[in-house]
A and B are shown apart, each in its own frame.
Chain A
Amino acid sequence: MGATTPPPSQGGPAGGGGPIGRGLRLVRFDAAERWVHWLSAALFLVLLATGAMLDVGSLSVLVGRRDLVRQVHVYAGLALVAPLLVALAGRWGAGLRADLARLNRWDGDDRRWLRSWGRDPMLHTGKFNAGQKLNAAFTGGAAIVMLATGVVMAWFAPFPLSWRTGATFVHDLTATALLVTITGHVVYALGDRGAMRAMVRGWVEPGWARRRAPRWYAELTEHEGG
């Protein structure tokens, strides 16, 4: 990874990765962001698998070992917040913090994007489109909900019984919603080699940036030209 990973330059311009053969490389996600993404994804898969074993009757019969599965599920759930917190804690999180700020802010362009589902020709999308922003916000909110309800379910003794029932209910609903949105996220990613490479290796080609994130592309090349 190191060879093609340019320095973590969020707002930074093109090309840290060096021109190997053809063309410029634009840094889209730095190493810290990619580590957070893939560690979280791996933990999510563990949670999905162990959660299904605990919750789906027929699967739970197949697997047995409930105690072990339950412990893996609980500790993987607690660990899920760790990559993000560690990345946010230090200097290495600069790119991540900047991207979170971008994901947070919505403007008229995002509303147009939502209305046309990205097809409006007048769109001048920034680094992230409204769908990506929505996905990020939903996933973040859902993670908080899953963590809070999961804690009540795992350590229920001090809480009223009705909280445990409510937490179970919310945990179930949110898990179902997350399964749907993350499946969608994966399907979109598999359909876009450029986006996939951005999260695997960190960079995109200028043509991809011009098509998918023209305002971001303009920001980067402005810097370059100026």
Chain B
Amino acid sequence: MEPSAAEPSAAEPSHAEPSDAEPSHAEPSDAEPSAAEPRAAAGTPIGRRVVLGMAGAGLAGILWGSRAQRVIGSALSPLSAVDGLGALGFLPAANRFRIYSVVGFLPSVRPVDYRLRLDGLVRQPSELSLADLEAMPAVTVRRDFQCVTGWRVPGVAWKGVLLRQVLERAGVGPGARAVSFGSFDGTYTESLTLDQAYRDDVVVAYQMQGRPLGTEHGGPVRLYVAPMYGYKSCKWLSRIRLVERVEPGYWEQQGYEVDGWVGRSNGRHDTAT
């Protein structure tokens, strides 16, 4: 019914317009317009069906594409574990990282110039270089990375130092109940309670999938808070400050939940990571 309803309007211009544009040759014969009409209108309007069909499929994709992506993504996840997020990153259906930055650029520091400042309510304010971190006992935490906007990268291996050990190296001072994080992008901030910071799956990470952490992923050093949404995992980590109470971070001041547990916050119901 769709093609026949639209047919007259589509057929019309094809014979009406040439006679507008070229009166000199369209006028002479009366048979001309009626002869041109069946030729232009002949055949099935496949073109329009293709266009409308694609538009419909696109709409369906907006509504249900996240489910399709989950299915395809988990089907491909054994591959992405092997692939180390290299070639698969170009596969549109694969679960992969999307790069966000709250400033208008991707901040970048050479690994040798990198410093992590520890201050606030610590016994001994100090600075750690990347080499200092690498010299500390390393852990690898392999967990999913879930973004609050919906994408999820399964089984990502994060190597680094437990946040707990970094804090203890500086010495947790009396009265410290929470931790604030700063980024060398100059803008981003995050926070955890001291209890959350002491978990076994909260890492100051310098490697991802066996490789040095790239700038786009928050390198050379970022935070990885496994059980929480990605915004808690402060990228381009440059400062750890012990404080008396939780100071809401960048996104939390704009409405994201401070306790960003995966599946139990921000109105989302993802499987826990």
B99's partner among A9, A57, A110, A176 (CB-CB below 8 A) is A57
A116 CB–B CB distance under 8 Å: no
Write the chain A residue with the least CB distance to B51.
Answer: A141
A105's partner among B44, B61, B93 (CB-CB below 8 A) is B44
Say which one of B63-71, B121-129, B168-176, B236-244 lies at the interface with A.
B63-71
Q: Which residues of A contact B137 (CB under 8 A)?
A: none
Q: A138 vs B47: C-alpha distance in the bound complex, in angstroms? A: 8
Mostly, the A contact residues are: helix
Q: A223 vs B26: C-alpha distance in the bound complex, in angstroms? A: 9
A210 CB–B CB distance under 8 Å: no
B45's partner among A64, A104, A169 (CB-CB below 8 A) is A104
Contact (Cβ within 8 A) B54 A165: no
Q: A117 vs B50: C-alpha distance in the bound complex, in angstroms? A: 19
Q: A66-B105, A102-B40 are in contact. Are A144 and B64 (CB under 8 A)?
A: no
Residues 59-99 (chain B) with a chain A CB within 8 angstroms: 59, 61-69, 89-90, 92-93, 97-99
Q: Which residues of B contact A5 (CB under 8 A)?
A: none
Contact (Cβ within 8 A) A145 B13: no
A166 CB–B CB distance under 8 Å: yes
Write the chain A residue with the least CB distance to B20.
Answer: A94
A64's partner among B10, B54, B98, B106 (CB-CB below 8 A) is B106
Chain B nearest Cβ from A89, distance in angstroms: 12
Q: Which residues of A contact B92 (CB under 8 A)?
A: 169, 172-173, 175-176
Write the chain B residue with the least CB distance to A30.
Answer: B21
A101 CB–B CB distance under 8 Å: yes
Q: A105 vs B57: C-alpha distance in the bound complex, in angstroms? A: 22
Query: A131-169 vs B: 1/0 string, CB under 8 Å?
Result: 001101110111011001100100010000111111111
Q: A44 vs B63: C-alpha distance in the bound complex, in angstroms? A: 26
Residues 17-48 (chain B) with a chain A CB within 8 angstroms: 17-18, 20-22, 25-26, 29, 36, 39-48
Chain A interface category by residue count: 35 or more
A103 CB–B CB distance under 8 Å: yes
Q: A181 vs B240: C-alpha distance in the bound complex, in angstroms? A: 50
A148's partner among B11, B20, B55 (CB-CB below 8 A) is B55
Residues 1-19 (chain A) with a chain B CB within 8 angstroms: 7-13
Contact (Cβ within 8 A) A168 B54: no
With a 10 A CB-CB cut-off, give which of A13, A68, A166 has the most chain B CB atoms: A166
Q: Which residues of B contact A97 (CB under 8 A)?
A: 13-14, 17
Residue positions of B touching A, CB distance < 8 A: 10-11, 13-15, 17-18, 20-22, 25-26, 29, 36, 39-48, 50-55, 57-59, 61-69, 89-90, 92-93, 97-99, 101, 104-106, 108, 148-151, 214-217, 268
Residue positions of A touching B, CB distance < 8 A: 7-13, 54, 56-58, 60-61, 64-68, 91, 94-95, 97-98, 100-107, 110, 133-134, 136-138, 140-142, 144-145, 148-149, 152, 156, 161-170, 172-176, 219, 223, 226
Closest CB pairs A-B (n = 8): A141-B54, A166-B65, A165-B150, A145-B58, A94-B17, A67-B104, A170-B61, A172-B92
Q: List 21 A–B pairs whose Cβ atoms lie within 8 Å, in order of A's numbering.
A: A7-B21, A9-B22, A11-B22, A12-B25, A56-B90, A57-B217, A67-B105, A91-B17, A95-B17, A105-B47, A106-B47, A107-B43, A133-B47, A162-B67, A163-B63, A165-B66, A165-B149, A166-B64, A167-B65, A169-B66, A173-B61
